[in-house]
Amino acid sequence: MDLFALIVVALVYLLIIGYVGYIAWKRTKSADDYMVAGRETHPYIMALSYGATFISTAAIVGFGGVAANYGMGILWLVFLNIIIGIFIAFVFFGKRTRKMGHNLNALTFPEFLSRRFDSKFIQYFSGAVIFVGMPLYASAVLIGMARFVQTTLQIDYNIALVVMALIVAVYVIFGGIRGVMYTDALQGTIMFFGMLILLITIYWLTGGVTAGNQALTNLVNIVPASATANATATGFTGWTSMPALGSPFWWTLISSLILGVGIGVLSQPQLAVRFMTVKSNKELNRAVAIGGLFIFMTTFAAYIVGSLSNVYFFQHTGMTAVQAAGGNLDSVIPTFISAAMPLWFAYVFMIVLLSAAMSTLSAQFHVQGTALGRDIYETISNKKRGSSVNVARIGILIAVIIAVILGFILPGSIVAVGTSIWFGITAAAFLSIYTAAIYWKKATKAGVIAGLVFGTFASFFWLVFQYKKSAEALGICKALTGNTVLITASPWPTIDPIVIGLPVAAIVTIIVCLITKPPSKEHLDKCFNGIK
């Protein structure tokens, strides 16, 4: 390890991040500045902040490892990331969210929902879901970065975990959303070019686009470790084809990894709040192309590299990528970088992953802090607007501590799983109420509260008692019933909670809204003023 070069690269990066965070701190003078950046964010900053928050080490390390295990079928997620995560999110959700958020003077996502339906319960219940559930996602991002540092630089995993969490906590606590978005834009730029270099390199190492893809196709008889010896039973059909329809491999890939993240992106609080930081739809229109290009490059590169790493490792070691990484999906990308790339690139890519992790973590910690400070504390205590900033800062610190603790105790191969679980929870809890808020004028307070509560608890119930990966880890179902899950017959243990929770929330919301009294015309006129 070239310690001098490492120190120089890291020091320059941290100094730049520190300077950007300082500028944000100087420009943060009010609660509006701290929570929605004064609603005057440049489209480039907004687009890259959105993209860098969305694409983290969970996508690069976690889902790169998933691609190494499931092959190129995961590329369908790139399509959903762009069509749903960017185009639909910005054009069909973002514009209405921005205008309605301005009309209601909302500073957080739960407050946006609360003011739309005139319900304090919605605000503190949504805030509680965020504060309780998001640490799993935050810890997954932390773990992804710490694993790379551990593998590449031979630094103790626990030390890497704590140091990175502290760095992010400092600029989020003092800079608020401005600090988050300014650093996000810088980090997103670094991520884009880093992933472009990695994509070119993997094809160069495997003989080019055609040769590399054909070599991966030819490994059809080399079964991934998670498919066990019986590939037919699990549904594995090859590295460049989809698993057998309805098989355990298919259900995991489609319901958890593709649908869970592909649809769940629409209901991410840390992403939705960014629509409220720009002053007009013109900025959102300009941000679509920037965000789409960024998402394509970062996700496509991560999934291609993960898949093709099997070719590299098989040619050099006779093992699949997951086997070469010791069976831990979260270690595949770090192991590949360490084995295949020169030392200088490992240092540069460390900055890419550090950027990915910090951009997402900063948004997660900021949302958790404002959830505790504004959505729970200020709502329940009836304190005046703006009094919650200090409580939000305390909430950020608590969120950091919880994420670090989870980083110590969560098992291997958790990054992609933890991410998909969180995305599924938010979809079940928030997507129905969010869609109704901006599109359905006849949606009622009782209806959306019912959907919010039923969707949330249906999702949590499935996680605890039926989804094998989470139920097995928690052990609650085993302790109460003697079985790991309630229904052991395939494919039920591999069906993601989003497949259950989201339809439950939608059906309950529609039924209760249709049988209860709609809101007043005056309230709707205020909410939908200027929205066609």
pLDDT at 459 > cutoff 70 = yes
Q: Give the pLDDT of residue 372.
A: 82
DSSP assigned state of 259? I
pLDDT at 8 > cutoff 80 = no
Q: How many domains does the chain have?
A: 1
pLDDT at 308 > cutoff 80 = yes
Q: Is 527 part of any domain?
A: no
pLDDT band at 280 (very low <50, low <70, confident <90, very high): confident
Nearest Cα neighbor of 78 from 235, 243, 239, 298 is 298
Q: Is 150 part of any domain?
A: yes
By percentage, how much of the chain surpasses pLDDT 90?
36
Q: Do residues 28 and 178 lie in contact, with contact meaning Cβ atoms separated by under 8 Å?
A: yes
| Amino acid (one-letter) located at 35 | M
pLDDT at 505 > cutoff 90 = yes
More reliable by pLDDT, 457 or 475: 457
CA dihedral for 54, 55, 61, 66, sign (positive or negative): positive
Q: Do residues 59 and 303 lie in contact, with contact meaning Cβ atoms separated by under 8 Å?
A: no
Give the distance from CA 378 to its chain's centroid.
Answer: 27
Residue with tokens 């969180």: 422
pLDDT at 397 > cutoff 80 = yes
Q: Give the pLDDT of residue 467.
A: 92
Q: Give the pLDDT of residue 230.
A: 47
How high is the mean pLDDT of the chain? 84
pLDDT at 228 > cutoff 70 = no
Extract the tokens encoding 417: 């799983």
SS3 (DSSP) at 454: helix
* Residue 151: domain span: 9-397
pLDDT at 83 > cutoff 90 = yes
The CATH code of the domain that includes 152 is 1.20.1730.10
Q: Is 475 part of any domain?
A: no
Q: Is 524 part of any domain?
A: no
Q: Across residues 110-139, what is the average pLDDT? A: 91
pLDDT at 114 > cutoff 90 = yes
CA geometry: angle 204, 207, 209, nearest 5 deg: 80
Q: Is 525 part of any domain?
A: no
Which range (184-193, 336-345, 420-429) has the least confidence? 184-193
| Amino acid (one-letter) located at 372 | L
The CA-based diameter of the chain, rounded to the nearest angstrom, is: 69
d(CA 359, CA 114): 27
d(CA 65, CA 463): 22
Q: Do residues 497 and 455 lie in contact, with contact meaning Cβ atoms separated by under 8 Å?
A: no
Q: Do residues 355 and 191 lie in contact, with contact meaning Cβ atoms separated by under 8 Å?
A: yes
pLDDT at 3 > cutoff 70 = no
Q: Is 130 part of any domain?
A: yes
